[in-house]
């Protein structure tokens, strides 16, 4: 937990962040309980045994950082900027090695070509890597939280108050935890592409359990898909630890923007309709990617760690984005004509076609496009929202101004008015 604080007496930022975060958790705790248990729904029957409880995760993990934060308050470990950067890079290197080793173990077990002793040796190596990662995790999370907070403050997103001097407060504090990300059940009608329901599920589902859930959704004449999420805007956010550095920074920033939007009209209207969901997700994508890039350039793109100069773009042999957009357009046309079975047969044919060209998608259906289409800057979307938000960003004097402006949007019509449509 970390709020970004600074004043002339160097007030401890961890303690203030804990207090702000505690307020958020207490708000969850004091919600009045219902006198009657809700009646079971069809979704309880389909997904009930596998549901991932956000409230239990937040309450269980919020206090996990108390120990480290209190330790920092009484015995602060001051690292130089270079030491902090090295600590993050070391952690991600360990995570990458652990991920590769886990893949090797899974493959050896599946193929049955390795002895039990060899597998146990690999598992011992994995346990040692995991132990090293755990010893660094709290500190690495705090370093990244501070780096992102610094950029957000420079973008004018913090508030200055007088509290034993002038203090910059970023609310909500940037707070995340490395954790295996949950799955999500996405549901769409079969006769149109529309996100009608999402349910977070356990990260430990087997392929058989995933397919059973999807088949049960199909059994009630809906389109269902279970996928991993890239991150979850719980508090603290759930962030996978096997991303590249730039992707990690952008994902943490993306999830923080969802938390920031929650306290503004954009976030409060997330579920008002499909357009508002798309505006929220796309704005978080645009802002998160830019924040991540700013953090990377400020702290990590130094000597020996610079990204290579991109080569001149060339026409790819297989244009995945173009193909996906054409598939989406064709599916929409078939569904508009009432040809549901034909649309589903077409999507399966195109899924196989994409796999033949090196792009494997486990299941391509209405739910897939409903979920990925909420990100209007991706090839699975045919919405103009992505273009409108890119235009708004270009017209904004700064990234901070863009975030403040978009956070106040409460309807699709207001977005159009904002960009002068």
Domain boundaries, the chain: 13-32+43-177, 182-229+264-304+320-418
What residues contact 350, with CB distance under 8 A and at least 6 apart? 323, 327, 364
pLDDT for residue 32 is more than 80: no
Burial class (CB in 10 A: 0-12, 13-18, 19+), 239: buried
The reported pLDDT for the residue numbered 85 is: 94
The reported pLDDT for the residue numbered 103 is: 84
Averaged pLDDT score across all residues of the chain: 84
In whole angstroms, give the CA distance from residue 116 to residue 138.
34
Taking only the tens place, the pLDDT of each residue in 320-367 is 888 998 999 999 999 999 999 999 999 999 999 999 999 999 999 999
Best-predicted range by mean pLDDT among 29-33, 138-142, 302-306?
Answer: 138-142
pLDDT for residue 214 is more than 80: yes
Span 284-306, mean pLDDT? 87
The reported pLDDT for the residue numbered 15 is: 39
DSSP 8-state assignment for residue 264: S
Tokens of 352: 């196989």
The reported pLDDT for the residue numbered 259 is: 94
- N residues, the chain: 421
CB 295 within 8 A of CB 151: yes
Span 63-75, mean pLDDT? 60
> 177: closest CA among 312, 260, 69, 277?
69
The reported pLDDT for the residue numbered 310 is: 46
Percent of the chain with pLDDT over 70: 81
Residue 330: count other Cβ atoms within 10 Å of its Cβ: 14
The reported pLDDT for the residue numbered 46 is: 93
Taking only the tens place, the pLDDT of each residue in 357-405 is 999 999 999 999 998 877 655 665 667 898 999 999 999 999 999 999 9
Q: pLDDT-derived band of residue 149, with 50, 70 and 90 as boundaries?
A: very high
Q: pLDDT-derived band of residue 111, with 50, 70 and 90 as boundaries?
A: confident
pLDDT for residue 145 is more than 50: yes
The reported pLDDT for the residue numbered 107 is: 80
- Provide the angle, in degrees to the nearest 10, between the axes of the packed helices 385-395 and 399-407: 130
> 53: closest CA among 28, 33, 32, 36?
28
Tokens of 9: 């007496």
Name the more confident of 13 and 229.
229
CB 391 within 8 A of CB 282: no
Percent of the chain with pLDDT over 90: 55
The reported pLDDT for the residue numbered 58 is: 77
In whole angstroms, give the CA distance from residue 65 to residue 359.
40
The reported pLDDT for the residue numbered 27 is: 53
**315 - beta bridge partners?**
none
Q: Is the C-alpha dihedral spanning 326, 216, 222, 410 positive or negative?
A: negative
Taking only the tens place, the pLDDT of each residue in 47-64 is 989 999 888 887 777 666
CB 375 within 8 A of CB 131: no
In whole angstroms, give the CA distance from residue 256 to residue 386.
20
CB 78 within 8 A of CB 146: no
Q: How far is CA 163 from CA 11, 33, 172, in A?
A: 10, 36, 18
Q: pLDDT-derived band of residue 169, with 50, 70 and 90 as boundaries?
A: confident
The alpha carbons of the chain give a radius of gyration, in whole angstroms, of 23
Q: pLDDT-derived band of residue 274, with 50, 70 and 90 as boundaries?
A: confident
Q: In terms of DSSP H, where are the helices of 296-411?
A: 320-336, 340-356, 366-372, 385-395, 399-407
In whole angstroms, give the CA distance from residue 186 to residue 370.
8
Span 167-177, mean pLDDT? 88
Q: pLDDT-derived band of residue 316, with 50, 70 and 90 as boundaries?
A: low
CB 17 within 8 A of CB 236: no
In whole angstroms, give the CA distance from residue 354 to residue 323.
8
pLDDT for residue 153 is more than 50: yes
């Amino acid at each position: 937990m970390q709020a970004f604080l600074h004043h002339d007496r160097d007030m401890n930022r961890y303690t203030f962040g804990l207090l702000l975060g505690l307020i958020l958790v207490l708000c969850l705790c004091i919600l009045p309980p219902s006198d009657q248990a809700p009646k079971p729904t069809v979704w309880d029957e389909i997904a009930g045994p596998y549901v991932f409880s956000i409230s239990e995760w937040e309450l269980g993990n919020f206090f996990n950082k108390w120990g480290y934060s209190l330790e920092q308050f009484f015995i602060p470990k001051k690292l130089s900027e270079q030491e902090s950067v090295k600590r993050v890079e070391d952690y991600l290197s360990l995570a990458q090695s652990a991920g590769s080793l886990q893949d090797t173990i899974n493959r050896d077990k599946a193929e049955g070509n390795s002895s039990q002793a060899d597998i146990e040796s690999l598992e011992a190596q994995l346990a040692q890597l995991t132990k090293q990662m755990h010893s660094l995790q709290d500190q690495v999370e705090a370093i990244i939280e501070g780096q992102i907070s610094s950029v957000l403050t420079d973008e004018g997103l913090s508030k200055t108050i007088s509290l034993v001097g002038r203090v910059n407060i970023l609310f909500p504090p940037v707070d995340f935890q490395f954790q295996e990300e949950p799955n999500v059940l996405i549901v769409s009608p079969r006769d149109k592409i529309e996100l009608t329901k999402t349910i977070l599920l356990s990260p430990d589902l087997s392929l058989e359990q995933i397919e059973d859930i999807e088949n049960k959704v199909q059994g009630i004449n809906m389109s269902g898909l279970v996928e991993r999420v890239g991150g979850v805007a719980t508090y603290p956010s759930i962030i996978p630890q096997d991303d590249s550095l730039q992707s990690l920074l952008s994902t943490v920033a993306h999830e923080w923007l969802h938390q920031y939007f929650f306290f503004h009209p954009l976030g409060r209207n997330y579920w008002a309709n499909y357009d508002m969901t798309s505006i929220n997700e796309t704005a978080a994508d645009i802002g998160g990617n830019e924040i991540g890039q700013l953090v990377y350039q400020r702290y990590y793109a130094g000597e020996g760690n610079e990204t290579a100069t991109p080569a001149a773009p060339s026409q790819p042999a297989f244009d995945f984005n173009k193909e996906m957009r054409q598939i989406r357009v064709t599916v929409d046309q078939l569904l508009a004509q009432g040809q549901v079975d034909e649309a589903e047969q077409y999507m399966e044919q195109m899924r196989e076609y994409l796999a033949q060209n090196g792009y494997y998608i486990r299941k391509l259906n209405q739910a897939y496009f409903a979920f990925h289409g909420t990100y209007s800057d991706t090839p699975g979307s045919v919405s103009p929202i992505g273009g409108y938000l890119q235009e708004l960003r270009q017209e904004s004097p700064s990234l901070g101004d863009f975030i403040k402006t978009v956070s106040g949007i409460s309807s699709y019509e207001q977005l159009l008015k904002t960009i002068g449509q």
